[in-house]
Amino acid sequence: MDGLDASDEALMLAYAAGDAGAFEQLYARHRGKLYRYLLRQLRDNALADECFQDVWQRVISARAGWTNSAKSADAGFATWLYTIAHHRLGDHWRSLKHRPSAPADADERTARLADPDTPERVLSEFERRRQLQLALDDLPEEQREVLLLRLEQELTLEEIGDITGVGRETVKSRLRYAMDKLRSRLPA
């Protein structure tokens, strides 16, 4: 199959029909974004590797079932893929029973930073990013996930609702709260 113009759904159908090359193209399209999505939530490469492999393993196992469900639900492959990732993350959080911990190098990074209250401080791009990262870390899990799906994956509110299992208005509300918190943490 010519994968340059084929849609994700057509590639997945081709893979379900036995075309291994279609899966390779599909994987190449989504591997980076999916991995970064997981890594932003988990903040650990080993955990991200484990979840990443699990998500793709579920895609492989459910290839035949996806054909029927995708036709009936008219859902896109990306939505389905991130729904699997969302559930995998939920399993991970439930197994930990607590919010994700700070990254291992958080203290080191903080020590390297200058005191933001010094009057001579000049906001650099690095400082801006650091503030944004801190603001993201402070967000509740549901709001952070919605924000990342929106900003990084550029998914619609309906798709985010399909992935997270909530309605469009709930997604919209979570997104608005997350944006407000980020605005309040960032310098004007």
For 52, the enclosing helix (H) or strand (E) is helix 45-61
Query: What is the nearest approach in angstroms of other proteins to the Cβ of residue 127?
Result: 11
Helices 8-16 and 63-73 pack at an angle, to 10 degrees, of 140
Give Cα 13 to chain centroid, integer Å.
Answer: 24
Query: What is the nearest approach in angstroms of other proteins to the Cβ of residue 39?
Result: 5
Query: What is the nearest approach in angstroms of other proteins to the Cβ of residue 92?
Result: 17
158-177 residues in contact with other proteins (CB under 8 A) are none
Q: Are 37 and 149 in contact (CB under 8 A)?
A: yes
Query: What is the nearest approach in angstroms of other proteins to the Cβ of residue 16?
Result: 9
Q: Are 155 and 146 in contact (CB under 8 A)?
A: no
Query: What is the nearest approach in angstroms of other proteins to the Cβ of residue 154?
Result: 6
8-27 residues in contact with other proteins (CB under 8 A) are 8, 15, 18, 20, 23-24, 27
- What binding mask, one character per residue, do residues 121-160 give for other proteins by CB under 8 A, x or -? -------xxx-xx--x-------------xxx-x-xx---
Question: Phi/psi at 71 (nearest 5 deg)?
Answer: -70, -40
The reply on whether position 52 binds other proteins by CB under 8 A is: yes
Query: How buried is residue 30: exposed, middle or buried, by Cβ count under 10 Å (0-12/13-18/19+)?
Result: buried
Give the Cα separation of 85 and 47 in Å (integer).
Answer: 13
Give the Cα separation of 42 and 48 in Å (integer).
Answer: 6
Stretch that binds other proteins, among 30-38, 83-91, 92-100, 112-120 (CB under 8 A): 30-38
Query: What residues line the site for other proteins (CB under 8 A)?
Result: 5-8, 15, 18, 20, 23-24, 27-32, 35-36, 39-40, 43-45, 49, 52-53, 56-57, 60-61, 63, 76, 78, 103, 105, 128-130, 132-133, 136, 150-152, 154, 156-157, 179, 182
